[in-house]
């Protein structure tokens, strides 16, 4: 940052926010995850019933509670009503108008608790039952999908906002922000600072009379959503900052090049970086792509009781997790270069990055252009293991000296080493931007030192996807780090998989079931299903050729935490019967 950019950044950080958004964002993420375990609230008859309950039951109850507390404890909102309320509040101007038209004032969330955070629901459930006899306090998947909702025609018909469309838009948001990175306080604290920078740009544009469409990254958007959920604080903060309530327009989802969202994001990136001298693109904050195709629309229901005994299948699972590989996402951008020898054309230089230690995710490295010389500010995003060093080598393209591309190879000018471990360790800020002095080589070894300005950001380390190789041997084996000796986890006999020290078994059936499952294993409060092809987290979406991969099988784990399934391993083989051995993730 130069002095002017530092001044702008300081002004942005002084913007007042009437809520502590970092812990609020963590609660927000927990709520979104709870709703995602109840995807029947995304569409269908139970969504329609939830909307009726919200309009006819929750809003009138909240209005009573805003006038005078209806319970000694904070009022608890049923989860289905909270989800609809959540989506309504994310259009703050419409929410304010609807509340004022129906109740004469904005309905606040003060002294209200989410059902997933409340210590007790007893008082709230009692008040609810007295007001709405026959209507359950909590709406569950097994609830009858009838129309027995207590109906107040004035309230139910007084909201013109299309809540079904709002739910559809918001149901995809949890996938974009449901990553380990978003739960890291360091990441969220930086997200709050970036959100304030985003608001500063909007204020600056307004003061100049410019109506520009500014597009947030997903870390900024998480903070923006969290801010809006405290409706009164958000409106007060925006009136103080802008003199009006800032609209949140999430209706445009066309990301095609040249469209409103694409040009708006490019403009926001340019303005953010020019205004503050810091990068807008950030690892873990960018669009993750469209949602993977689900394996089922029907949740697996599990009992909440815990079995203290540990089955052989659980023991096998614990053995397998010993062999984890961790991975981080890295975003790297070369911002500038200085002290370049005058004999070298500026546009002839670029950077090639590699990694010192063998890495399961990086093979040959890649090319990075220098922003100030090319104007390309995107950089490179990639995955790697959180070990070793990145080697950045400044290369000189000999084509700028009149040599044909085939006659002379690019010549190295110098290199710099950057520690990946330093960037990813627990006390790191997960990002930096600074100058590095190159170690020059070859004919330029005696020249004045050349420096490279590098911007890097990374996610927190997470478990890498498991990829399993399969041979035609009828046993499942594993290896521990301590002994290095293989041991049998399960054996395939008489058309069943039998786990050691366990009564768990699985009957082989290669005929797909209605949901496409070709095999399943039940044990304790868990279920493992095998599906042909790459599914969920293993789905390849880079091109249409990867839509199907019949030579692969995905293991999907179902549990109370993941009722719609979580991909836990990819079996890279054409046959299901065989021995599974661990291979490095690709």
Strand 467-471, strand 566-572: pairing: parallel
More confident: 258 or 198: 198
pTM score, whole prediction: 0.86
The whole-number average pLDDT for the span 257-274 is 92
Residues of the chain with CATH 2.60.40.150: 326-463
Burial of 319 (0-12, 13-18, 19+ CB in 10 A): middle
The whole-number average pLDDT for the span 106-117 is 91
H-state helical runs in 322-430: 371-374, 420-424
Q: ∠ CA 277-280-284 to the nearest 5 degrees? A: 140
DSSP reduced 3-state for 396? strand
CA distance 541 to 513: 25
Q: Which CATH architecture has domain 326-463?
A: Sandwich (2.60)
Instruction: Give residue 539's pLDDT.
Output: 86
Structure confidence at residue 503 as a pLDDT band (50, 70, 90): very low
The pLDDT tens digits of the residues spanning 32-56 come to 999 999 999 999 999 999 999 999 9
The pLDDT tens digits of the residues spanning 215-255 come to 999 999 999 999 999 999 999 999 999 999 998 877 777 78
Burial of 26 (0-12, 13-18, 19+ CB in 10 A): middle
Distance of CA 66 to the CA centre of its chain: 35
The pLDDT tens digits of the residues spanning 527-584 come to 888 888 888 988 876 555 555 666 788 889 998 899 999 998 887 654 443 333 333 3
Q: Which range, of 13-22, 200-209, 267-276, 366-375, averages the lowest pLDDT?
A: 366-375
Q: What value does the CA radius of gyration of the chain take, rounded to a whole number of Å? A: 28
Name the token pair of 231: 């409706």
- Interhelix angle 218-229/79-89, rounded to 10 degrees, is 110
Residue matched to tokens 């868990």: 526
Instruction: Give residue 571's pLDDT.
Output: 76
User: Which of 285, 230, 244 lies closest to 20, judged by CA?
Assistant: 230
Q: Is the pLDDT of residue 7 over 80?
A: yes
Instruction: Give residue 410's pLDDT.
Output: 86
């Amino acid at each position: 940052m130069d002095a002017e950019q530092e001044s702008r950044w300081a002004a942005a950080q002084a913007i007042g926010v009437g809520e502590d958004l970092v812990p609020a964002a963590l609660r927000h993420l927990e709520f979104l995850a709870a709703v995602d375990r109840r995807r029947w609230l995304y569409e269908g008859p139970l969504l329609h019933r939830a909307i009726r309950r919200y309009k006819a039951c929750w809003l009138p109850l909240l209005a009573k509670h805003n006038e005078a507390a209806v319970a000694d404890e904070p009022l608890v909102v049923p989860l289905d009503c909270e989800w609809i309320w959540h989506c309504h509040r994310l259009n703050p101007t419409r929410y304010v108008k609807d509340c004022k038209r129906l109740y004469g004032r904005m309905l606040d969330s003060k002294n209200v608790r989410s059902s997933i955070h409340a210590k007790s629901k007893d008082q709230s459930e009692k008040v609810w039952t007295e007001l709405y006899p026959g209507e359950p306090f909590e709406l569950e998947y097994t609830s009858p999908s009838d129309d027995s909702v207590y109906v107040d025609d004035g309230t139910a018909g007084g909201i013109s906002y299309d809540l079904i469309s709002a739910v559809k838009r918001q149901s995809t948001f949890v996938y974009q922000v449901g990553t380990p990175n978003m739960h890291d306080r360091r990441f969220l604290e930086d997200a709050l600072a970036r959100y304030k920078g985003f608001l500063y740009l909007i204020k600056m544009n307004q003061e100049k009379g410019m109506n520009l469409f500014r597009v947030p990254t997903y870390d900024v958007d998480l903070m923006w959503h969290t801010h809006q959920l405290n409706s009164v604080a958000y409106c007060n903060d925006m009136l103080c900052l802008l003199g009006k309530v800032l609209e949140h327009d999430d209706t445009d989802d066309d990301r095609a090049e040249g469209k409103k969202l694409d040009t708006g994001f490019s403009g926001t990136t340019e303005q953010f970086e020019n205004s503050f001298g810091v990068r807008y693109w950030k690892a873990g904050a960018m669009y993750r792509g469209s949602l993977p195709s689900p394996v089922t629309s029907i949740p697996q229901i599990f009992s909440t009781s815990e079995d203290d005994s540990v089955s052989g299948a659980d023991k096998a699972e614990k053995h397998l997790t010993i062999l984890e590989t961790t991975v981080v996402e890295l975003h790297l951008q070369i911002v500038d270069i200085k002290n370049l020898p005058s004999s070298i054309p500026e546009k002839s230089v670029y950077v090639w990055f590699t990694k010192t230690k063998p890495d399961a995710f990086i093979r040959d490295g890649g090319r990075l252009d220098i922003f100030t010389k090319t104007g390309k500010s995107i950089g490179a995003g990639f995955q790697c293991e959180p070990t070793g060093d990145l080697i950045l080598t400044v290369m000189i393209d000999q084509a700028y000296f009149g040599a044909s591309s085939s006659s002379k190879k690019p010549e190295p000018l110098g290199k710099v080493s950057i520690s990946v471990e330093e960037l990813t360790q627990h006390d790191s800020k997960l990002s930096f931007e600074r100058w590095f002095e190159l170690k020059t080589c070859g004919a330029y070894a005696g020249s004045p030192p050349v420096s490279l300005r590098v911007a890097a950001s990374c996610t927190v380390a997470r478990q890498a996807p498991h990829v399993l190789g399969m041979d035609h041997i009828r046993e499942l084996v594993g290896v521990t780090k301590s002994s290095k000796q293989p041991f049998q986890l399960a054996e395939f006999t008489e058309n069943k998989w039998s786990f050691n020290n366990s009564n768990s078994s699985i009957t082989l059936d290669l005929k797909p079931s209605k949901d496409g499952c070709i095999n399943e294993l039940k044990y304790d409060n868990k279920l493992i299903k095998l599906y042909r092809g790459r599914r969920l987290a293993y789905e390849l979406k880079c091109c249409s050729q990867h839509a199907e991969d019949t030579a692969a099988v995905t293991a999907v784990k179902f549990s109370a935490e993941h009722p719609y399934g979580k991909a836990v391993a990819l079996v890279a083989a054409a046959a299901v019967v065989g021995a599974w051995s661990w291979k490095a993730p690709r």
